[in-house]
Amino acid sequence: MLKKYLKLTLIAGIVVLLDQLSKALIVKVLPLHSARTVIDGFFNLVHIHNPGGAFGLMAGMGPAVRTTVFLIVSAMAVGLILYFYHTTPADRPWLATGFAMIFGGAVGNMIDRVRMGAVVDFLDFHIGGWHWPAFNVADSAITVGVGVFVLHVVLRKTTI
């Protein structure tokens, strides 16, 4: 059992560390609301603060309400992910890894909400006029983790 939680700590810890270091670097080198082109017509580094949830959800609400709601929802999500991780059988290592990535991503974004009331986003992909909303390392880990979970549910494989 200890080995299982060491894996959670290691994976989630790496996600949180990479997330917080990358955000700190962006905050240091790019002024708020600025951008640097990395691949012309496809990828920019930007510095924005997202006070809302995914895709700016609830961004227009008052800061106290928004922060309270997101911290409560985040805490509930973290608890649920820990439960899923705890109940994941040992023969499903990829599923456990996915849950650990989701957990790390949720913690990374929660740290921003507690510190600043908003999440730092900086990865900006686009093709022509089509833009994907800016995101960060924590969001990426959550997305990959959810993808692993979906594959597990869809494929119902014992190796995932």
Catalytic residues: 121, 139
Scanning the chain, the segments in alpha helix (DSSP H) are: 2-29, 63-87, 93-116, 137-155
Q: DSSP for 54-75?
A: GGGTTTTS-HHHHHHHHHHHHH
Residue 30 is encoded by which pair of tokens?
Answer: 């790019």
**How far from chain centre, in Å, is Cα 90?**
25
How far is CA 102 from each of CA 3, 25, 65, 140, rounded to the nearest angstrom?
19, 22, 24, 9
CA distance 61 to 58: 6
